[in-house]
Amino acid sequence: MGSLPHVVEDCYGLLQLYSDGSIHREKNIDLTAFSVKDDGSIQYKDYCFDKLNDLHLRLYKPKSATSTTKLPVVYFLHGGGFCFGSFAWPNFHNCCLRIASALHVIVVAPDHRLAPEHRLPAAIDDSFGALKWLQELARNPKNDVVDFFDFDKVFIIADSCGGTIAHHLAVRLGPGSPELAPIKIRGYVMLAPFFGGTERTKSEAEGLPEKVLTMDVLDTFWRMSLPIGETLDHPIANPFGPKSPSLEQVNLDPILLMVGKDELMRDRVKLYANRLKELGKIASYVEFEGKQHGFFTNEPYSDVSEPQYVVGFKRDLDNNETLTAAIRSKGQIVLNVASSGIASLLLDGGRTVHSRFAIPLNVVEDSMCSITTDSPLAELIREAMLIIWDEAPMMNRLSSEAFDRTLRDINSSTYTPKSDNVLGGKVVVFGGYFRSKGQIVLNVASSGIASLLLDGGRTVHSRFAIPLNVVEDSMCSITTDSPLAELIREAMLIIWDEAPMMNRLSSEAFDRTLRDINSSTYTPKSDNVLGADAEEINNFAEWILNIGERKIGGKNDGHAEVEFPKEMLIPNSDDHVGSFIKEMYDNWEDNLWDPTYFQDRAILAPTQQEVDKINELLKVGAPIMCLRNIDQRGGPCNGTRLQIVRMRINNIEGKIISGGQLGTVVAIPRMVISPYDKKMPFQLNRRQFPISICFAMTINKSQGQTLYKVGLYLERSVFFTWTTLCSRIEGKEQEGSENVTLRQ
């Protein structure tokens, strides 16, 4: 007779693995130490995303959200060493409630199968499956909840073993997660990710005392979750182990790593962060003094969790969106407008400035908006706390002056403020690209998430090499003759966001370093700022600035000829249009139903005449542009790009491929079009679809849209805003070609 089954692995007495492979799992785990803190401001509901494995997720939504407000999405992966945990546990539930309420976002918290019943990579596959469920929801909305999702702004926050899953998702999905379109992941926050390795780190070897975790417990988790017979150097456990594939050629979205200074896994996480930085990835590492594993989720309302969750993360959301949400949450009015229809779609409740404020289409020096002082619109403007005008520099100066005169007039009666104040005393935020003089501005932030929002932003540790462990006489690791020192000397301005969050010693080390850099006699060179790897970008940026400063094209009185660099040109041929289309839309019929193919590329031309040459065929699958404001809240308005899904006699179904309603299928009806022509003694009416083919579009129509690959078709001399060209170059050279291809 053989021996009876005996325990070979035991975790807290709650989970036991026997020698015969059987498993005992305690069903009633005492979690009374965590009380749910629900103030009623958040609604939540559970959904099944995997019927085969009976897996569920929980969606959290602020009650104050409205159907016209698109909220960013936080995808939360809970911890538990792959062996325990659920979104329903009170500590994880509290954490999700806190994120949803503090950041005013949607939170999606999935469960995964647990080990040792289901060993890795089961948990990773389940987490990816939940993302695919979310993708299907984005493509085919089935309930009212999806009306609140901004699938273009998805962030992953992952705790402990959830951080391990997040790493493997980041590697698989790549930047922007094209596999999940229209979902776009913007970045990852890993809260003490659970990694391992056969070679102990210093903190692991020292066995820093924690209330719950010990090295024996961590090792037990790995033995019970990894495939049977594998070691801690398995690629799932050790991303940089001897068996792990190289990440050198793998592009990743930005990653923020946060860990308590008293954690056993502290040095393991720090090692992971340093290896990512060595490979050129965007990664930030933050330690919290005196904190142990799990304080982010176990204490989501603590003071130390507040700055990172609320301040750091919230600033990664759009500035306009944050301003709007903050003011409207107090019951005050914000009017969001934009110069173009496409840009207005990206604003919460956005309208074009002409539509909202009745600015005349043909403005002159003394024009006024068509708003009477006793109208409901005038009353709305008087009561508004804030007006946000995006892409303001695109408009004629006379339009903004007409707007100014109108605001002064509206507030000139007994209302305050007085009419002699600029803009009638209203607070107006003008957004957009305001022409600079080419000086260098370095944007940094104390936290990784906040740095993502800044233009060219980096963490202060990454940009200025501030030591992680600073002392009274610390200096940044920058030599006076280094390229970074050159860059700092040439910078006109340094902006440090969230500076008060940093240790005083860090700012003092930064001060000493700047004094040292600027005290030498070293003369900075202008031809080696960011190194050889960025030479292409530097050359392109310099070319753009030289055009703006009129240094290229010689002396001119409004007309100049600009020669494009050879590397921007595409091959010429006898068939200009045909070769250009082939370069931009090669094998387009094979990519008809790829949701990102038409979304990411377009041909731009100066006038409609050139556009019509390229847009020859209309068929199912072709990209089109809506030419009327049909439904600004629901999606299709003047400038919206769509892909034809179905054609009927009286309407066309199209899937939106631009703006904030990506993936939404809408119907465009025939409409009565009445061209305005003063020369005709009568008015013509024609019932037609308000669309045009959009393989190509005019340069003006492209404003406010983000494109991965852009082609400029130039048959004649042309003037246009050079911000259109601020993107990464892609193309082949060919002498004499007048067409260029640009890639972001």
**pLDDT of 446-503, one tens digit each?**
876 667 667 667 888 888 888 878 888 889 988 888 878 888 887 877 888 878 778 8
710 versus 11: the higher-pLDDT residue is 11
Q: Please, are residues 443 and 452 in contact by the beta-carbon 8 Å criterion?
A: no
Q: What is the pLDDT, as a whole number, of residue 167?
A: 97
Q: Is the dihedral of CA 580, 586, 589, 592 positive or negative?
A: negative
Average pLDDT taken over every residue of the chain: 79
* 237 has pLDDT over 90: yes
Q: Mean pLDDT across the stretch 79-99?
A: 93
Helix or strand run (H / E) with residue 712: strand 709-712
Give phi and psi for 430, each to the nearest 5: -95, 115
Q: Please, are residues 514 and 468 in contact by the beta-carbon 8 Å criterion?
A: no
When pLDDT is cut at 50, 70 and 90, the band that residue 349 belongs to is confident
Q: What is the pLDDT, as a whole number, of residue 64?
A: 81
Bridge partners for 107 per DSSP: 60, 74
Residue 396 carries which DSSP code?
-
Is 610 within the bounds of a domain? yes
CA distance 73 to 59: 10
State whether 669 and 629 are in the same domain.
Answer: yes
Question: Tokens 């001119």 label which residue?
Answer: 556
> Where in the sequence is the domain holding 542, given as residue range(s)?
467-521+536-548
State whether 258 and 343 are in the same domain.
Answer: no
* 234 has pLDDT over 90: yes
Highest mean pLDDT among 204-208, 329-333, 720-724: 204-208
**Which region among 368-377, 382-391, 420-429 has the lowest average model confidence (pLDDT)?**
420-429
Q: Give the count of domains, the chain.
A: 5
Query: Cα–Cα distances in Å, from 151 out to 105, 107, 127, 605?
Result: 11, 12, 17, 30
When pLDDT is cut at 50, 70 and 90, the band that residue 240 belongs to is very high
Q: Mean pLDDT across the stretch 64-70?
A: 74
Q: What is the pLDDT, as a whole number, of residue 441?
A: 79
Tokens representing 702 are 């492209």
Is 282 within the bounds of a domain? yes
**pLDDT of 637-677, one tens digit each?**
777 888 888 878 888 888 888 766 677 888 888 888 776 65
When pLDDT is cut at 50, 70 and 90, the band that residue 67 belongs to is low
Catalytic position from the list 293, 305, 339, 498? 293
Count Cα neighbours of 554 within 13 Å in the Cβ-side half-sphere.
4
* 572 has pLDDT over 80: no
413 versus 548: the higher-pLDDT residue is 548
Catalytic position from the list 101, 104, 112, 160? 160
Q: What percent of the chain has pLDDT over 70?
A: 76
Highest mean pLDDT among 110-114, 184-188, 580-584: 110-114
- Asked about 293 being catalytic, the answer comes back as yes
State whether 235 and 357 are in the same domain.
Answer: no
Residue 375 carries which DSSP code?
S
Domain-ending residue, one of 314, 333, 358: 314
**Which region among 176-185, 255-264, 385-394 has the lowest average model confidence (pLDDT)?**
385-394
* 517 has pLDDT over 70: yes
CA nearest 661: which of 599, 718, 612?
599
DSSP string, 603-657: EEESSHHHHHHH-----TT-EEEE-S-S-TTTS--TT-EEEEEEE-SSEEEEEE-
State whether 411 and 495 are in the same domain.
Answer: no
Look up residue 546 and give its amino acid: N
Q: What percent of the chain has pLDDT over 90?
A: 27
* 534 has pLDDT over 50: no
CA distance 79 to 591: 39
445 versus 227: the higher-pLDDT residue is 227
Catalytic position from the list 263, 486, 498, 730? 263
- Asked about 263 being catalytic, the answer comes back as yes
Q: What is the pLDDT, as a whole number, of residue 217?
A: 92
* 231 has pLDDT over 80: yes
CA distance 536 to 264: 44
Q: What is the pLDDT, as a whole number, of residue 321?
A: 64
Find the CATH number of the domain harbouring 83: 3.40.50.1820
Highest mean pLDDT among 239-248, 494-503, 559-568: 239-248
Highest mean pLDDT among 193-202, 363-372, 500-509, 628-637: 193-202
Q: Please, are residues 454 and 312 in contact by the beta-carbon 8 Å criterion?
A: no
State whether 159 and 105 are in the same domain.
Answer: yes
Q: What is the pLDDT, as a whole number, of residue 103?
A: 80
State whether 181 and 67 are in the same domain.
Answer: yes
Q: What is the pLDDT, as a whole number, of residue 675?
A: 67
Q: What is the pLDDT, as a whole number, of residue 144?
A: 65
CA distance 16 to 724: 62
State whether 296 and 171 are in the same domain.
Answer: yes
Is 192 within the bounds of a domain? yes
Tokens representing 290 are 């005196």
* 157 has pLDDT over 90: yes
Residue 52 carries which DSSP code?
T
Residue 677 carries which DSSP code?
-
* 66 has pLDDT over 60: yes
When pLDDT is cut at 50, 70 and 90, the band that residue 420 belongs to is low
State whether 113 and 190 are in the same domain.
Answer: yes
* 195 has pLDDT over 90: yes
State whether 324 and 309 are in the same domain.
Answer: no
Q: Please, are residues 675 and 195 in contact by the beta-carbon 8 Å criterion?
A: no
Beta strands 641-647 and 623-626 are antiparallel
Is 379 within the bounds of a domain? yes
Beta strands 283-288 and 333-338 are unpaired
* 342 has pLDDT over 70: no
State whether 202 and 234 are in the same domain.
Answer: yes
For 450, the 3-state DSSP assignment is helix
Highest mean pLDDT among 95-109, 152-166, 298-312, 631-645: 152-166
When pLDDT is cut at 50, 70 and 90, the band that residue 434 belongs to is low
State whether 369 and 295 are in the same domain.
Answer: no
Q: Please, are residues 530 and 483 in contact by the beta-carbon 8 Å criterion?
A: yes
Cis peptide before 121 (omega within 30 of 0): yes
When pLDDT is cut at 50, 70 and 90, the band that residue 531 belongs to is very low
Is 235 within the bounds of a domain? yes
State whether 48 and 80 are in the same domain.
Answer: yes
Is 308 within the bounds of a domain? yes
* 693 has pLDDT over 60: yes
Is 677 within the bounds of a domain? yes
**pLDDT of 311-334, one tens digit each?**
344 444 445 665 676 677 677 888
* 418 has pLDDT over 50: no
Is 209 within the bounds of a domain? yes
For 207, the 3-state DSSP assignment is coil
Q: Is the dihedral of CA 485, 491, 493, 494 positive or negative?
A: negative
